[in-house]
């Protein structure tokens, strides 16, 4: 069973027991979070093929919710940005680390 959810302008393919790294949310570890914006729901395993219950939203699937639990607040890897213009004595070096929230998917609730 898996679902495609929308959160923060991004789409994620999630299944029960899976850990997902989302954009930072102001939540503490152990808090529960719900994702009501489900774009697609399927009750088959991602690798199998055959006739199954697949629900496609327009734009969201009615009644289906994904429930997760916040695991941790983490920082991503450092990205270095270098700007350089030759013969102009212009050099700039900056860095950035993105903040993320790690969420474990507990349940996909289907009516």
Note the pLDDT tens digit of each residue in 70-104. 999 999 999 999 999 999 999 999 999 999 999 99
The neighbouring-strand residues paired with 76 are: none
Give me the DSSP letters along 53-108. Answer: -EEE-SSS-TT-EEEEEEEEEEE---EEEEEEETTTTEEEEEEE--EEEEEEEEEE
What is the C-alpha separation between 82 and 93, in angstroms, rounded?
5
Which residue has 């860095």 as its token pair? 95
Note the pLDDT tens digit of each residue in 48-67. 666 678 889 899 999 999 99
């Amino acid at each position: 069973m898996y679902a495609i959810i929308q959160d923060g302008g991004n789409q994620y393919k999630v299944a029960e027991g899976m850990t997902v790294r989302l954009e930072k949310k102001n939540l503490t570890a152990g808090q529960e979070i719900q994702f009501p914006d489900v774009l697609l729901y399927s009750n088959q395993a991602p690798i199998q093929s055959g006739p199954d219950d697949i629900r496609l939203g327009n734009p969201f699937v009615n009644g289906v919710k994904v429930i997760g639990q916040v695991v941790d607040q983490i920082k991503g890897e450092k990205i270095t940005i270098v700007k350089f213009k030759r013969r102009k004595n212009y050099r700039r070096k900056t860095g950035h680390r993105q903040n993320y929230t790690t969420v474990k998917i507990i349940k996909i609730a289907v009516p």
